[in-house]
Amino acid sequence: MDCLDFLHLFNNTQAMKTITQIFSFSLILLFTGCTKVNEDDKTIHTEVENFLESYNLKFQQLLIPANEAQWKLNTFIIEGDTTAALEAQKASEAMVAFTGSAENIEQALKFLENRNELLPVQIRQLEAILYAAGSSPAIVSEQVSEKIKAENLQTQMLFGYEFSINGKPVTVNDIDAILENSDNLEERLLAWEASKEVGRVLKSGLTNLRGLRNETVQALKYDNYFQYQVSEYGMTSDEMMKTCRSMIHDVWPLYRELHTWARYELAKKYNQPVPEMLPAHWLPNRWGQEWSSMVKDDGVDLDKALMAKSPEWIMEQAEDFYISLGFPALTKSFYEKSSLYPLSLDSKHKKNNHASAWHMNNADDVRSLMSIEPNTRWWGTTLHELGHIYYYISYTNDSVPIILRGGANRAYHEAMGTLIGMASMQPPFLKQYGLIDEDVEVDPTMQLLKEALDYVVLLPWGAGVMTEFEHDLYANNLSQSEYNKRWWELKRSCQGIVPPFERDSSYCDAASKTHINDDAAQYYDYALSNVLLFQFHDHISNKILNQDPHNTNYYGSKEIGSFLKELMKDGANCHWPDHLKKYLGSEMTAKPMVDYFNPLMEWLKNQNKNRVSTLPEKYPLN
């Protein structure tokens, strides 16, 4: 047992909980001989612990009203009413006045000068304090205030926007339904165009936010906002860009075959000539980020099965699954405070239409914002969002300080949710819930194809288009007049997708994507999470279930639950590369993902045997 193992064990014994931090630390030094005991050591540790205890307490006190205000801003949008935005700005300004204060920055930097004398958990907290200060330092308080105001306004404009087709109001669920199901190209084009109109409204706001975000982080010597966000992974911008390009490079041969297959299949479906590149409105997603609904004949008609169910049933079954793994039931508070279902058509207010999970106080108040409907997309999404919720619950424990209650890295959070989303679509799991009959023959090739059109297709989109665009936006100060041009250059080179007609600089199609506005410079998280989830799934399938990775059923496995709890319990109180090696025995790699889809590759090559591929053979690494 080394020093840190002993410290962890010692601090988690019930009998010692009331002993003071100083005495606890002194005993550890005495009995383990980890380091020399002297008055200077005790003084440093006392000062650090007192500072961190005070910071964590104040952070949580300010986090609650800040999150409550944001919750209201996202769930109760009334056109023309600025009350919620003003409340959110006031609460956010109070929060960042604390996290970005010169005193906190100076103290953290001062203590880190003695990092060799500090415990890892102390170092992590001090570094988290500096990271939190980075986006809103007090030394540029005017820009910070303007940034908060601009972000809240952008949120209101984005989620308060009224979409319409031929002058008739429609919801984003309506638009998605058309793009997923319609065979009428004219109808599809109208829906696709409608989904992009919000970008015009958001374009100037995005430019303003880019300037304010860059200015605030540059005050603490970050090069730009993109580099600031990447730094949370312990990486430089160049390292992240190389990592993203390498991931796409690894799956490119498979993506190239999928692209060729999609061009020919969609041309047949719409009775059109085979295009060189994929027209954006031909695809079943507003941004072309996943194409899984192209597969209709895998033997599973989940939409039909779910049509007879209620949104509440989907939520109940999602919770039941996590309980079957050994996780606790969700609290009454979760159901009372969450916003889980669509608003009525005659509602006087709107809400954010993007599914999300919220940890309101970094303690016991967890919530979800969704608009659950009984269909395949919401079946997977609901299970995904509860993955975030149970991650929150798992790392809310005494060994993880308030400010370290986050994922081991941001991609970990997405990987936990997406892992369960993928598992929830495999046949044995669906049979468990009676969504397909026991005697149904599921086509394994079509099942694999459907999964590839989701998980593989996301990499050129997430690690490619989104990451490259936001890098150019923040690191290269991309001109507003170039936004749409650059966006479609990237769509073509990374995904092989083109617009249905020339999209000039009056448009800002990038800004129609939620994350560009309110979760900026972090979309590579989703791509990294897809790589991680296949590593997790490979471990679960082969080391725990001993089942074919393509045909698993996680339901009821307490061993899986224990594995996931172990992965999640440390939160950000760990070094994520070491954490990954500890639990999986390897570094982050796309190999399990490539291996998983190997059986599909031969099928695609046969399908594309006499077809022309229009993407280059290799994806460029620079």
Question: For every residue of 209-226, which 3-state class applies, written as one string?
Answer: HHHHHHHHHHCCCCCCHH
Q: Residue 288: how many CB atoms within 10 A of its CB? A: 24
State both tokens at 2.
């080394």
Q: What is the DSSP letter of 621?
A: -
- The helix/strand/coil state of 523 is coil
- Tokens in use for 462? 């997430």
Residue 441: how many CB atoms within 10 A of its CB? 8
pTM for this model (two decimals):
0.85
* Total Cβ atoms within 10 A of residue 14: 6
- Any idea what the Cα angle at residue 283 is, between residues 281 and 288, rounded to 5°? 95
Q: Tell me the two tokens of residue 423.
A: 């598992």
User: How crowded is the C-beta side of 620, counted as CA atoms within 13 Å?
Assistant: 6
Which distant-in-sequence residues (6+ apart) come within 8 Å of 325 by Cβ?
A: 554, 556, 557, 558, 560, 561, 564
3-state class of 392 per DSSP? helix
Do residues 242 and 621 touch, judged by C-beta distance below 8 A? yes
Cα distances from 440 to residues 256, 307, 379, in angstroms, run 32, 19, 20
State the residue for tokens 């149970």: 390
b/e sequence 377-409, b meaning 16+ C-beta within 10 Å: bbbbbbbbbbbbbbbbbbbbeeebbbbbbbbbb
The residue ranges of the chain whose pLDDT is under 50 are 1-37
Query: Look-up: residue for tokens 């409608």?
Result: 194
Q: Find the helix or strand (DSSP H, E) in which 427 lies.
A: helix 427-432
